Amino acid sequence: MRALAVCQDELVIRTLHQVLSSTLDLEFLVESRPLARRLIEDQIAVTVADPKRVDSYLRADLSPSTCVLVEDNGKRSLKKIVSAIRDAGGSLLYILHAGTRPEQRKNYDDLQELVPELTHLGLAELLSASLTTELERAMTRARVQQYQRYFADADRVLILLHNDPDPDALAAGLALRTLLRRTKTTAIIGAVQGVTRPENLRMADLLDIQVETLTPADFGTFDRIATVDVQPHYFPGQLPRVDLVIDHHPEQTGYTAVFKDIRPEFGSTCTILTEHLRAVDVNISERTATAMLYAIKSDTLFFARHTNRSDLEAFTFLYPLADAALIRKMEGAEITLDRLEHVTRALATSRMRNQVFSAFIGETTREDFIPYTADFLLQLEGVKWSIISGIVGGQLIVSVRNLGYSKNAGEFLKTNFGDIGSAGGHRALAKAVVPAERFAAKFGDLSGIGIAARIGELAEHFLAEAKDDKKPTEKTGKHV
């Protein structure tokens, strides 16, 4: 989360940097060039500008979601500074009292009229870890309130999910509808391709989550569009606009959104939405809490992959609100005959070398069979990387799973397939979608076994390079 601190006192600046830079993307705006030079020498991000001018904040890329801390040291009027921040589009504004006495704090009513959501903080409060957390929550609250107001006057809202939505997407759609205070008739949860995986169908049925199947032509009929657990690049050229994006996958470029909250360090989109719900004190129903808890558990493999403290805190918060028995029923048995058939296909074309298992399952009707097979075969003894590819509708889908402590799976796919298709993901799981003809043009028109072998070779080469990077140099003995 980005923050801009308008401060002129060096001690205050260094104190804020020490306390907040680990949790916020913090930059300072100062008037003194000598002060700026000293700060830059100590690797502190700083801009020299006049805090009373609007263009100072425009050059600093101030946005409505930027947290602005303005130091009040009692030596200057704040009204011109606050007016400039407001005129530049800033709304998350905090006045930081650094040594001012109550009788020095004049004209605060005028400031409150300029920015109604202005908040006052003492420097001592920011030194408290608990209040640093509270500051983050206040920033989240302001962000959520902004998009709530933006969506409030819309007649029809679309909450758009990715194709064949998984538990995280389904639950995130339900959570956002709750945040927007809407019903299933005024906020439709939709997808271009509906739910097909058995366990996801079971979840949607047990929790009564209705996902409407849409075509790109339908998108223009909505007043507001939000995407959850997916970003607009997933729908190239199909969305007329995007008003809100909430996602935990690595951020993509090539689109604009009025509001967005993208946190790839989180294991689940529902973790982000749990923070949003808590920030504005929305009552979470048992149904919504159950869906979100199941989503976090599912997307993190019960905290076995890509998990951080926020995921654990969200799980802890939701657990007493959810129906644990219903979650056990939703999990059920996931092995079906269709899935076993695809595992068998993979074994027939498989290549296993240097703990990398690669296989091609040929053409299939459903994309979800590919990541399922990759997950299933990662359980084989001696396998650290499982890479399964297949053809769906003329597209080559490559799904990668690994044990999470080796080199990044997303980087592997981006390096090898990013120039011919969509590729990326996390350290332990990633996906590439490449037109089959582009794959053939780059790597040759290979047979099924040949495709498995070629992708396996690419992975071995990628992992070998990672090992070379970690070797110490002869002269220094240090890692390079």
Residue 320: how many CB atoms within 10 A of its CB? 9
Q: Is the pLDDT of residue 246 over 70?
A: yes
- Rounded to whole angstroms, how far apart are CA atoms 329 and 348? 34
Tokens of 117: 């959501």
Give the Cα-Cα-Cα angle 381, 384, 389 (nearest 5 degrees): 100
Beta bridge partners of 227: 160, 245
- Residues spanned by the domain of 27: 2-127
Residue 378: CATH number of its domain: 3.10.310.30
For residue 444, tell me if it sits in a domain: yes
> Which of 151-165, 265-279, 402-416 shows the lowest per-residue confidence on average (mean pLDDT)?
402-416
For residue 325, give the CATH number of its domain: 3.90.1640.10
Q: Indicate whether 344 belongs to any domain.
A: yes
Number of Cβ within 10 Å of residue 396's Cβ equals 24
Q: Left if phi > 0, otherwise alpha if psi is -120 to 50, otherwise beta: which for 419?
A: alpha
Q: Collapsing DSSP states into helix, strand and coil, what is residue 419?
A: coil
443 Cβ contact partners less than 8 Å away, ≥ 6 residues apart: 454
Dihedral sign, CA of 448, 453, 456, 458? Answer: negative
Q: What is the pLDDT of residue 63?
A: 82
The average pLDDT across 331-344 equals 80
Pick left, alpha or beta for residue 161 (phi over 0 → left; psi -120 to 50 → alpha; otherwise beta).
beta
Q: How many whole angstroms separate alpha carbon 433 and alpha carbon 418?
A: 9
Residue 479 resides in a domain:
no
Domain at 80, CATH number: 3.40.50.720
Give me the pLDDT at residue 114, please: 61
Q: Specify if 140 maps to a domain.
A: no
Alpha-carbon distance of 272 to 280, in angstroms, equals: 13
Contact 60, 46 (CB under 8 A): no
**367 part of a folded domain:** yes
What's the angle, vertex CA 352, arms to CA 348 and CA 354, rounded to 5?
175
297 and 168, same structural domain?
A: yes
| Shared-domain flag, residues 295 and 343 | no
How is 259-307 classified by DSSP, letter by letter? EEEE-TTSS-HHHHHHHHHHHTTPPPPHHHHHHHHHHHHHHTTTTTSS-
The residue from 307, 331, 355 where one domain ends is 331
Does residue 476 have a pLDDT over 70? no
> Distance between alpha carbon 434 and the CA centroid of its chain, in Å?
23
Closest CA to 392 of 412, 429, 365: 365
User: Which residues does residue 356 pair with via DSSP β-bridges, in sequence order?
Assistant: 353, 385
Asked whether residue 419 falls in the same domain as residue 357, the answer is yes
Closest to 150 measured CA to CA, from 58, 277, 260, 254: 260
Percent of the chain with pLDDT strictly greater than 70: 86
Rounded to the nearest 10 degrees, the angle between the axes of helix 409-417 and helix 448-470 is: 120
Q: What share of the chain is helix, strand, coil (3-state, %, to 5)?
A: 45, 20, 35
- Phi first, then psi, for residue 422 (nearest 5°) are -95, 130
Nearest to 224 by CA among 177, 276, 167, 293: 177
Q: What single letter denotes the amino acid at residue 161?
A: L
Quick: pLDDT tens for 119-152.
777 766 665 555 566 667 777 888 899 999 999 9
Kindly state the average pLDDT of the residues 99-106: 50
pLDDT of residue 406: 61
Please tell me whether residues 388 and 459 are part of one structural domain.
yes
pLDDT band at 95 (very low <50, low <70, confident <90, very high): confident
**pLDDT grade, residue 2 (50/70/90)?**
confident
Give the confidence band of 326 by pLDDT, cuts at 50, 70, 90. Answer: confident
128 CB contacts (<8 Å, ≥6 apart)? none
**Residue 477: inside a domain, yes or no?**
no
Query: Is residue 478 in some structural domain?
Result: no
Query: Which pLDDT score, from 0 to 100, does residue 103 have?
Result: 47
Domain end, chosen from 331, 355, 376, is at 331
The neighbour count for residue 152, using CB atoms within 10 Å, is 11
Query: Are 354 and 392 members of one domain?
Result: yes
pLDDT tens digit string along 432-459?
999 999 999 999 877 778 999 999 999 9
36 with 64, same domain: the answer is yes
Mean confidence (pLDDT) of the chain: 86
Residues 123, 207 share a domain: no
Two tokens, residue 277: 């719900």
Does 14 fall in a domain? yes
Residues 178, 323, single domain; the answer is yes
Q: Same domain, yes or no, for 347 and 320?
A: no
3-state secondary structure of 363: strand
For residues 217 and 251, state if they share a domain: yes
Q: What is the DSSP string of 434-479?
A: EEHHHHHHHH----HHHHHHHHHHHHHHHHHHHHHHHSBPTTT--B
Nearest in space to 141 (alpha carbons), one of 350, 269, 282: 282
- How much of the chain exceeds pLDDT 90, in percent? 52
**How many residues are given for the chain?**
480
298 and 172 in a common domain: yes
Q: Note the pLDDT tens digit of each residue in 155-191.
A: 999 999 999 999 999 999 999 999 999 999 999 999 9
Distance CA 364, CA 394 (A): 10
pLDDT of 478? 34
Q: How confident is the model at residue 416 (pLDDT cuts 50, 70, 90)?
A: very high
Of 331, 351, 380, which residue constitutes the final position of a domain? 331
Longest CA span, the chain: 81
Domains in the chain, number = 3
Q: Cα 318 from chain centroid?
A: 20
Task: Quote the DSSP letter at residue 252.
Answer: -
pLDDT of amino acid 123: 65
Residues 324 and 344 in one domain: no
